[in-house]
Structure 1
Amino acid sequence: MIQPLLPTKVRGVKHADDRKVLNGIFWRLRTGVPWADIPARYGPCTTCVNRFNRWRKAGHWARILQVVSEACGGDIQMIDSSSIRVHQHGANAKKGGRSDRMGRSRGGLTTKIHALVDAAGRPILLKLTAGQAHDGRSTMDMLATVGSGQVLLADRGYDADYLRTPCGRGARGAVANIKPMPGRKRIPAFERTLYRKRNVVERFFNKLKHFRAVATRYDKTDASFLASVHLAAIRITLRGYEAVT
């Protein structure tokens, strides 16, 4: 699935080995160190960071994640979010270059990752918002893959009629099994046994934060941080099929 998406046209000087450079990019993703500290065995650090940025701008990381996520199946999908603390080095962008995906919350500057996963915990769609953004309103555009006959699991943060109605009575014909808020006057149908399967999305975030470049945001731009999240999600997805070492 991945091979046709990797760029093969090389212009100019001899192209550095993709596997070596990608190993350097993944090493930095796992450790969270600055690009300049990538070991020499992976080649020049400038090659790693330039390859990462070039492929990000060309959309290769997003396309690879889209292709591997198309293999996700099952009748259940889950949605949740997790806040990521912004490191001081990621918050000192040049004047006028401040990210709109950094917001102030109790923990200071944070970015929130929203994830839609399948029943096996494989990511289908990822999105970034500011840390103080409301979960339900932020994920209205993430439910297009929830089709007829499927079930959407979510916690109380997504308990809203405008989320339940498209799933329950819309054209997609999906069922929303969302834990209702305690103060609701009209309690909707809720299956507790099925809701227990929602811990799969929590485990996905746990795996995602094993990558230190994702667990703490060091990237100044939203595009670079989202590309790092995509890379980590690709790695997690591939582990579900075969060893990638």
Structure 2
Amino acid sequence: MDDRLECSAVRRGEQPPWIVSDELWAEIDPLLPPRPPRRHRFPGRKPLDDRKVLCGILFVLYTGIPWEYLPQELGFGSGMTCWRRLRDWNDAGVWQRLHEVLLGKLRAADQLDMSRAVIDGSHVRALKGGPKPVRARSTAAARARNTTSSPTRAASPSPSA
């Protein structure tokens, strides 16, 4: 891969967790939906390589930065490009299929420990219901009396002379 994909926050000799290995890419690539063909006339920009975009997605998810702050210097494309691909791949069911493929590989290698897996979860509705919540009294302060002036009676018309 491109040497621009390295980051100084990772120790020398270690691969950053957002860089997709060749082995993992071989599993992911067939699961991605095919790109629509480019128009002959006015083809627009060439789409970014899926692997670089995936690295950008993983970088954002790993670091927690907002999509719009994805550094262009890393070569992953813009944050919006990465976000759109994530959305499109999610809609196409890529992540679910990848999860199933990786679980199958672990199962085949006898490395899947299901001792902590939840087999069935259920909710039982309380038919009689719980206690009704009591309306809480207001904790707002009562309106204080105005001490600078007191109410006066309405003026009565004086008898005309």
Give me the TM-score of the superposition, normalised by structure 1: 0.31
Bigger fraction of residues in strand? 1
Q: Relative contact order (C-alpha < 8 Å, sep 6+): which is higher?
A: 1
Bigger fraction of residues in helix? 1
Give me the TM-score of the superposition, normalised by structure 2: 0.46
